[in-house]
Amino acid sequence: MIVFDLKCGQAHVFEAWFGSSTDYEDQRARGLLKCPLCGDKDVGKAVMAPRLGSSVVEAEPQVPVASSPAPEMKAMLAAMAQLQARMLEKSEWVGRRFADEARAIHLGEREAGTIHGEATPAEAKALAEEGVGVLPLPFPVIPPDQRN
């Protein structure tokens, strides 16, 4: 596994793990990378600070290792996806009306409750600037009317 700092066109920097540099390049070429904060697909590697050794000569650098990180990573991601699904069971899908509905809740014009839906990066930014608490979901959501 390799970790890269990535940066989107909106200047959000985030960390992403890949099986190899080739996996990163492949996913980027296929347009599979997107910013978890704003959804921007203009993503590239961010400048990373080099690892500088101390002035003391080290015999051999120590690196953390695991015998099989892939199954643990898959299990962790599956658990996170299940948690999101359980959370969304108690949330109302509002689709493209998300920005308007979230703003209405914030202003007291709509009964408070948990909602989820779709917003453009610009809408999400505007909501955040207005003090409306919104968070991007870590995993894609299939709208109820598109489920089998």
Confidence of residue 11 (pLDDT cuts 50, 70, 90): confident
How much helix, strand and coil, in percent to the nearest 5, is found in the chain?
A: 35, 15, 50
Q: Residue 35 in contact with residue 12, Cβ under 8 Å?
A: yes
Confidence of residue 2 (pLDDT cuts 50, 70, 90): confident
Q: Residue 114 in contact with residue 86, Cβ under 8 Å?
A: no
pLDDT tens-digit series, residues 13-69: 888 888 888 888 888 899 889 888 888 899 998 876 554 544 555 556 665 555 556
pLDDT tens-digit series, residues 77-112: 888 989 999 999 999 999 999 999 999 999 999 998
Q: Residue 6 in contact with residue 44, Cβ under 8 Å?
A: yes
- Residue length of the chain: 148
